[in-house]
Homo-oligomer: A and B are copies of this chain.
Amino acid sequence: MSPPDEFERIAALTRGLGVGAGVVLGPGDDAAVLRPRAGHDLVATTDTFVEGRHFRREQLPLEAIGRRLAAANLSDLAAMAAEPRWALFSFAIGEHWSEADVLALQHAAAVALEAEGATIVGGNLSRTSGPLVVSVTLLGEVEHGLHWTRAGARPGDVLAVTGTPGLAGHALAEAASGAAWPSAYLSPPCRVQVARTLAAAGGVTAAIDLSDGLSGDLAHLARASGVGAELDAAALSPGALEPSDDYELLLALDPPQCEALEAAARAAGAPLTRIGRCVSDGLWVLGPHGARRALEVRGYDHFA
């Protein structure tokens, strides 16, 4: 039997895909045709995983790579309070990857995306002499005017996070010395539903996903909002300030609405942890006896 050609591979990768809400025409033509809903804006993000940079294939099951790829894109939509709808996958496949490996990775990503309402509607397949590169473009929708940005935080707003910032970076360091992966690394929890709940409630003034690390992503949010921030050392998990791709949310909350938002997040299964507050300028860590030191910003830099 001869190895599958490009079009047989595409057929295998698209089998069973493209059936979902709002899909007028799925994979198999020159482009997908999708039906946006009235009263909504479209929200679009793209995230790429490169073998050897975003994951090491010998360290991680293909299914976990696929789920983390989905999570990287889903958390960008969660940070905009958008509802995931449609995804496109683009693979540049290294020669040492079999069709079954690529299918396993994509299938795991597809299942994670479908659980949040998104359908794979198209993609592209090519080869590379280098490591695998897979790009996902995820499209979502948000009601007019409801989307969050990084730019709305004001001095006095409460800073809160979902989950455990630093967990992914810690897991990566531990794995290097042979430790097992925590399940939250292999299957990152998705914060889309809690984001949608909080956006409907109102009172979130700014949001960003934690894909580089808390200190770096906090710095982005503070810069975009034109504010400073002060973190409470006692509220941070160990390693919370190290580079880490957690796919959690950092939120700025309007103080009077804070308790109601916390209750809503608990009810949505994603309790918030207060970690500090916005101030007029500077980035700070507040120690146990009121001592304030400058925050050292340490995000992941692909070009360092």
Contacts and interface: CB of A to CB of B under 8 A. Distances in A.
A125 B302 contact: yes
Interface string A253-268: 0000000000000000
Interface stretch (A28-36, A109-117, A226-234, A272-280): A28-36
A237 interface: no
A46 B30 CA distance: 9
B126 A302 contact: yes
Interface of A: 3-7, 9, 24-25, 28-36, 38, 40-48, 50, 52-54, 75-77, 79-80, 82, 86, 88-90, 92, 94, 121-131, 133, 135, 137, 139-140, 142, 147, 149-151, 207-209, 224, 301-304
Q: Could you say how many copies of this chain the assembly holds?
A: 2
A204 to B, nearest CB: 13
Contacts of A42: 33-36, 42, 139
Task: Find the residue from A30, A44, A209, A224 having the highest chain B CB count within 10 A.
Answer: A30
Contacts of A137: 44, 46, 88, 90, 137
Contact of A79 (B31, B86, B140, B142): B31
Contacts of A92: 48, 50, 92, 133
What DSSP secondary structure best describes chain A's contact surface? strand
B44 A139 contact: yes
Contacts of A209: 30
Nearest to A151: B29
